[in-house]
Structure 1
Amino acid sequence: MGKAIGIDLGTTNSVVAFKDVTVRTIQTGANNEDLCRSCVALDKNGNFLVGNSVFNSWKRHAPNIVVSVKRLMGASINDSNVQKMKTNSHAYPFGIQKLSGGTEDSVAIVLRGKEYTPEQISAEILRALKNDADTKLGDVEYAVITVPAYFNEKQKSATKKAAKLAGLKVLQLLAEPTAAALSYGFDNLKDDEDKTLLIYDFGGGTFDLSILTAAGGQFVETGAGGDRWLGGDDIDAILSDYVKDQIEQQNGINLEELLSDKTDKEVAEFTAGLKKDVENAKKTLSQSSSATIMISDYLENEDGDPLEDIVVSRETFESLIRPLIQRTIDLIEELLVKTSITVDDLSNILLVGGSSCIPLVKRMLVEKYGEEKVMSSEKPMLAIAHGAAILAASMDTSKWKEDDDQSVDVDKEIPDGPIVYTAKHNYLIQLTKNGRKEMERFIDDQTPLPFNVNRQFSTIVNNQKIVEVKLFSDAEDGTYDKLASGFFTITDNLPSGSKLNFTFNLDTNENLRVSVKVVATGKTSPVVLGRGSKDSSCLSEISSSIEDIMNDDSISDNKKTAFLSKIQSIIVAIENSKLKSDDDKWLDFEQQVMTAKQFATEPEEKENRLGEILATILVKNFPQYLDPSDFNEMREKLEKLNKTNDSFQKESLQNELNDLATSYSILLNIFLFKIIANNTNNPQDAGRANCAFDEMMQSLKTGDINNIRRIQHENEDLLKKNVTGLGNAFSAGIG
């Protein structure tokens, strides 16, 4: 059976550790170093490179080099902090944009013109760590991976997805502060001994706080806080800005204008040199009274003369970063107030993370809380990985099973380990009351996990058939993060105000599952929630399509009813399919929604011909790929439809043809690209669509369905962009 390791997947550096008799760091990279830089580059041959050597060759790889990808895990493209990363091309030279074909807030990283998800980039870091551990230990199969205490379900889900891509089975996602407490040895207290610990984890990209009660070999999480956008990266940014100001003052230049006249290579050399020198200066100033930024090594003025070097004193450095350190103390005070824990209640404050090595950090904490409370490790940057390794060694890998993200099993077994988990967020559901949207909390932060709670809500209109469930958690800035949304259907005709009993289950990984019981009928259904992959894209399309159609006064009530009936059948099919979040079948369902929306906006006579149109497309263009019995049945029904004048029989045949045709959605999706190629006014879209169509037809001939789905997924933005008018173009499939 494969071994289990502990991994600190950090914003700046990552560490892997293993425990047998003792806990030890597994050294990584060509130079066998404790810290592996969380840095990924894509070379010109399409190969991913990871680690310290990549970071040290910044100017060679930029802009196809990624750092701080952890800040993008589970984040929204609309997040103001993501937008700041996007505009700061010196610190983050890689492209950041909305993921093509993703949900409205999905993030894509662009390297050499190709999109990658943050999970894919993080997977490369995890894969490199796993490979190094394999070399040192033999077969490594399992891992405990640490995450910030404040990570929500989307961020945790993204981390688990990255691990799966890297070939690792996740035993547990462990809060970084809890891992730190394990590494400090507080799991070895005497049976009658207890401690209240505040873990102060100041890393490269996040600042994490957690209050733990340690007693009898167990930890109970009693509070969590921090700021996932505060870390060593921000210290580097402040120091970098100061150095740039000093360059201008000491040399009498405008740095931006000077760089605008430089070649791309010269700008890359300056960016790489400054980045490396600033980071080295930060470390030097923890030991010395001054540090020199060697500007003369990589930047000349317009006359070709080297610019003056910049000397930074420790006093200046500390004055620059003091507000950031004070911010961490303010966050401690906020957490103490929230948890009603006093400073006197705290046994110790444990310092973890690279930024906690800065002398000012400990000095300000000692000034505030007293020297006897503040504890620091000799190697605070390794502590979290060591804690993860300790937990990994204590867990029974034979009980591991892959999470089923659509499961509603509220009795799921709690993993082995010495930790009692609590919720890190308030959880809320969006309700509509008197036409207004409101948030109602159903789980409080600090609630012990796993936790089940029942709440009763009501339908809002007569004969409501579709109910959308939107779930949120609170964010650090007082706003809400959308966690997931999903749907369930009601088959019976019920009056407005009919009772719905919701069961919410939050497990130890803060994965949320929901089921609903319709009180009047006794029927219980799971709510299929989008988890940020193809499922979320499909469910978002359902949500936006319903809103668009129902708010369009030009669409008749009959057509709206027919549209909702079609959407209801799609939701039922989704419920019955029990799909994983990244299953390609979601793409088929999404296309069915888009097609239903398009035909709902078409004139009545065209909408009523949907079954005929789809069946004709299949019979004329894909006869060899249809089941012979389906092919014959479609032909027979089309012939009957052409001969009959009976309106009732026509409607019946149209519905039967529609049901037959939609089971071949992958073929209909292929044909859509041919339609776009022939009808769009955008030459680039036409070219892409035509290439996609040809590639899919070639894959169809060889039976490579997975490749067809891949091509459709990579080009689904074409479908959404060109959906208007596809109903008219669809009719061309008959002619």
Structure 2
Amino acid sequence: MAKYSIDLQAGKVKEDDVVSTRGETIVGIDLGTTNSLVAHVRDGRAVAVAGPDGKSVLVPSIVHFQADGMTLVGDAAREQLLTAPERTIYSVKRLLGKSYRDLAQVKDRFGYRIIDEDEDRLVKVAVRDAEGKDRYYSPIELSAQILKSLKTRIEAELNSEVSRAVITVPAYFNDAQRQATRDAGKLAGLDVLRIVNEPTASSLAYGIGLTDEDEGRTIAVYDLGGGTFDVSIMRIEQGIFEVLSTNGDTFLGGDDFDQAIVDFWQRKYDLDIQSSAQRGEVRLVAEAAKRALSRQDSYTAEYHGQQLQLTREEAESHWGPLVEKTLQSCALALKDAKLEKEAIDHVIMVGGSTRIPLVKQQVADFFGREVNNSLDPDQVVALGAAIQADVLAGNQKDVLLLDITPLSLGIETVGGLMDPIIPRNSKVPTKVGRKYTTSVDGQVKLKVAVYQGERDMVADNRKLGEFILENIPPMPAGIPQIEIHFYLDADGILRVKATENRSGTEQSVTIKSQYGISEEEMAMMLLDSLKNAEADMSARGLVEAKTEANNVLLSARKFIRQNEDWLSDNQVSEIQSYTDDLAKAVDGDDKDEINRRMESLNDFTAPLAHEALDRNVAAAMKGKDV
């Protein structure tokens, strides 16, 4: 039986030890914040699957728990937003991998209860049953309900069981959020073969339709969905889809455009929207207004006997800052890719929120070219996921996707410095190794602390985890050879392994975050790295100078002990004087002074070191014929 996998070097499907999926239908799923879809490749073409009525391919990402314990998903659940909002859960995707602390600022926007028993634990949603008892559901369980509904839909379409899938996530989803998505798939009865970034899937959907003349083109994928925003700069070359850079916001999407309308109406009409039912009702009216204003200049609706009016001009004045945030991400993505706007050949629009005229116009103005929205923006992600699924099934052999990691991954070194091992925007999957050694004589343990971020000091970055490499043979500082390898898989899950080469002792850890980065942290990490670049460089320079100086001090003191039999009292006194001056400089914060004192000590001890070497060679050769 032939076996297939993706060959990352050649960009082809090759035979190896991966279990074959040829002949099996593997589906692509877009698990969205507002709507979800399932698609598959039929007769060589990716198609999204509609429900039994054949009307819509969109399944609202909403779960409703009835008083009798039954569960509704999709359109049937959406109808309960007004009548039973406290038992109707929407925007589940925004909860994946999040703690209560992450959501504390926006918890009042939800019509259901997010429990806060421990702000550092993953959130749960409380739903009260007919007996008045609370039942608690994790975002993984809720997402699994949506995935089960999609699984049922595609099985009815194919009239056969489906057990394998590719699921998409925003590019800025971290380890915890990706793992939560995979766990939700497993709970729904699906073997999730790959977690694919949404912009990557989108570009694949468009890229398959590009003509030969479009080979070697650079594409910007602007993806504004219901709850998340991503922009990716991609290169298509000989069937290889390579992400050059990515940027975005895990908490910005169409929901925020709806909320801007709600906030405007609340101020203008002094609306009373304190209860969950009222929040859910006015949110639906705002969403209807947003959709209508994509086609017309004004909108009027009735809300409890009151006329609510909104013009496109009024809406755009409140949407402007949101669109501007997306354009700032576009600028950062271009900078990371080291490209100017003129280098972009295509601008692809993805996500239902890109139907807003203001969004299309401002994105076109930013890139200086017309945007490409020829495919249904709601379906693009799912279609791309289906194509990737078809690749994994061994049916397409000339396509390769290379994803990237959005933030640098590294370890803490002496002085609290961040040593990036996998720089941000590195291609994944990837394996990177680096050699280290001990800093103290006889050291038998080494702490490996793993961080994520762009700042030079680990204190300014996000700690992911740590472990201790034990049983290092006691040797002088600098002698042990310790290799630290980072393995980042295609789903963005990180495994770190440390090995001491002489003894073979090793230790490893799989990094799984306890909860996700908050939206403020995610947005600020890159901005902080740019804003503090000069200060970080100075801080790193000072730490590196102190570290080197401490090593020199250690060597100087060791030199005196090892050579005191022939060093004169004056020479020992001079060395000690120079070391005292250097030690005093190390206690200060003047990098240049440390380097000057270090140079003075080196200048004085260099001739003595040469003499010591000559004496050692002479002693070793004594009595031997040369």
- The TM-score with structure 2 as length reference comes to 0.71
In structure 2, the partner of 1:163 is 185
The 1:337–1:531 alpha-carbon spacing in structure 2 relative to 1, beyond 3 Å, is closer
Aligned-partner residue type, residue 133 of structure 1: I
Shift in Å, 1:530:
4.5
In structure 2, the partner of 1:522 is 504
Is the CA contact (8 Å cut-off) linking 1:152 and 1:473 kept in structure 2?
A: no
Q: Please give the per-residue CA displacement for 1:561-606, whole angstroms capped at 9, x wherever unaligned.
A: xxxxxxxxxxxxxxxxxxxxxxxxxxxxxxxxxxxxxxxxxxxxxx
2:430 to 451, 468, 472: 451
Shift in Å, 1:469:
3.8
In structure 2, the partner of 1:66 is 89
In structure 2, the partner of 1:33 is 56
Shift in Å, 1:337:
1.4
The 1:417–1:425 alpha-carbon spacing in structure 2 relative to 1, beyond 3 Å, is farther
In structure 1, the partner of 2:244 is 222
Q: CA-atom RMSD, angstroms?
A: 2.9
Distance 1:154 1:469 in 2: 20
Aligned-partner residue type, residue 517 of structure 1: T
Aligned-partner residue type, residue 142 of structure 2: I
Shift in Å, 1:242:
0.6
Shift in Å, 1:461:
7.3
Q: Please give the per-residue CA displacement for 1:305-357, whole angstroms capped at 9, x wherever unaligned.
A: x4x21110111011110111111112111111122111111001111101100
2:143 to 110, 122, 127: 122
In structure 1, the partner of 2:68 is 45
Shift in Å, 1:186:
4.2
Shift in Å, 1:239:
0.7
Q: Give yes or no for the alignment of 1:472 onto 2:451.
A: yes
In structure 2, the partner of 1:320 is 318
Shift in Å, 1:154:
2.0
Shift in Å, 1:395:
1.6
Shift in Å, 1:57:
1.4
Is the CA contact (8 Å cut-off) linking 2:227 and 2:255 kept in structure 1?
A: yes
Shift in Å, 1:244:
0.9
Q: Give yes or no for the alignment of 1:18 onto 2:40.
A: yes
Distance 2:122 2:441 in 1: 35
2:406 to 415, 424, 443: 424
Distance 1:368 1:118 in 2: 36
Shift in Å, 1:457:
4.0
Aligned-partner residue type, residue 76 of structure 2: S
In structure 2, the partner of 1:181 is 203
Is the CA contact (8 Å cut-off) linking 1:66 and 1:94 kept in structure 2?
A: no
Find the residue that maps to 1:60 and give its secondary structure: coil
Is the CA contact (8 Å cut-off) linking 1:187 and 1:218 kept in structure 2?
A: no
Is the CA contact (8 Å cut-off) linking 1:62 and 1:94 kept in structure 2?
A: no
In structure 2, the partner of 1:588 is none
Shift in Å, 1:106:
2.6
Shift in Å, 1:32:
4.9
Is the CA contact (8 Å cut-off) linking 1:428 and 1:471 kept in structure 2?
A: yes
Shift in Å, 1:41:
2.2
Distance 2:118 2:187 in 1: 18
Q: Give yes or no for the alignment of 1:195 onto 2:217.
A: yes
Aligned-partner residue type, residue 444 of structure 1: P
In structure 1, the partner of 2:112 is 93
Is the CA contact (8 Å cut-off) linking 2:25 and 2:393 kept in structure 1?
A: no
In structure 1, the partner of 2:283 is 275
In structure 1, the partner of 2:253 is 231
Aligned-partner residue type, residue 95 of structure 1: I
Q: Please give the per-residue CA displacement for 1:508-551, whole angstroms capped at 9, x wherever unaligned.
A: 22221121112452323333544649xxxxxxxxxxxxxxxxxx
Alignment of 1:490-505 (within 5 A): 490=471, 499-505=481-487
2:227 to 198, 205, 216: 205
Shift in Å, 1:379:
1.5
Distance 1:124 1:65 in 2: 13
In structure 2, the partner of 1:390 is 387
In structure 1, the partner of 2:13 is none
Shift in Å, 1:151:
1.8
Q: Give yes or no for the alignment of 1:361 onto 2:359.
A: yes
Is the CA contact (8 Å cut-off) linking 1:487 and 1:529 kept in structure 2?
A: no
Shift in Å, 1:284:
0.5
5+ long unaligned stretches in structure 2:
1-22, 129-133, 516-626
- The TM-score with structure 1 as length reference comes to 0.61
Shift in Å, 1:19:
0.8
In structure 2, the partner of 1:106 is 122
Percent identity, please: 31
In structure 1, the partner of 2:176 is 154
Distance 2:93 2:121 in 1: 17
Is the CA contact (8 Å cut-off) linking 1:143 and 1:169 kept in structure 2?
A: yes
Is the CA contact (8 Å cut-off) linking 1:352 and 1:377 kept in structure 2?
A: no
Aligned-partner residue type, residue 260 of structure 2: I
Is the CA contact (8 Å cut-off) linking 1:290 and 1:311 kept in structure 2?
A: yes
Matched residue pairs, number? 481
The 1:475–1:279 alpha-carbon spacing in structure 2 relative to 1, beyond 3 Å, is farther
Distance 1:208 1:512 in 2: 22
Is the CA contact (8 Å cut-off) linking 2:443 and 2:475 kept in structure 1?
A: yes
Is the CA contact (8 Å cut-off) linking 1:97 and 1:109 kept in structure 2?
A: no
Distance 1:463 1:46 in 2: 63
Is the CA contact (8 Å cut-off) linking 1:292 and 1:310 kept in structure 2?
A: yes
5+ long unaligned stretches in structure 1:
249-254, 261-266, 297-305, 399-414, 534-735
Aligned-partner residue type, residue 149 of structure 2: A
Q: Please give the per-residue CA displacement for 1:185-239, whole angstroms capped at 9, x wherever unaligned.
A: 4465428822100000000111111111112222111111111111111111111
In structure 2, the partner of 1:132 is 153
Aligned-partner residue type, residue 431 of structure 2: N
Q: Give yes or no for the alignment of 1:291 onto 2:299.
A: yes
Aligned-partner residue type, residue 484 of structure 2: F
Distance 1:111 1:463 in 2: 58
The 1:376–1:481 alpha-carbon spacing in structure 2 relative to 1, beyond 3 Å, is farther
Q: Please give the per-residue CA displacement for 1:640-663, whole angstroms capped at 9, x wherever unaligned.
A: xxxxxxxxxxxxxxxxxxxxxxxx
Find the residue that maps to 1:7 and give its secondary structure: strand
In structure 1, the partner of 2:340 is 342
Find the residue that maps to 1:140 and give its secondary structure: coil
Q: Please give the per-residue CA displacement for 1:287-317, whole angstroms capped at 9, x wherever unaligned.
A: 1111123112xxxxxxxxx4x2111011101
Find the residue that maps to 1:235 and give its secondary structure: helix
Alignment of 1:551-700 (within 5 A): none
Find the residue that maps to 1:454 and give its secondary structure: strand
Is the CA contact (8 Å cut-off) linking 2:85 and 2:111 kept in structure 1?
A: no
Distance 1:96 1:182 in 2: 39
**Higher RCO (CA-CA < 8 Å; seq separation 6+):** 2
Find the residue that maps to 2:104 and give its secondary structure: helix
Distance 1:67 1:211 in 2: 30
Shift in Å, 1:134:
1.1
Is the CA contact (8 Å cut-off) linking 1:354 and 1:380 kept in structure 2?
A: yes
The 1:382–1:56 alpha-carbon spacing in structure 2 relative to 1, beyond 3 Å, is same
Shift in Å, 1:494:
6.4
Q: Please give the per-residue CA displacement for 1:117-156, whole angstroms capped at 9, x wherever unaligned.
A: 2212111111111111111112111111111112222221
Aligned-partner residue type, residue 117 of structure 1: S
Is the CA contact (8 Å cut-off) linking 2:114 and 2:123 kept in structure 1?
A: no
Distance 2:266 2:463 in 1: 38
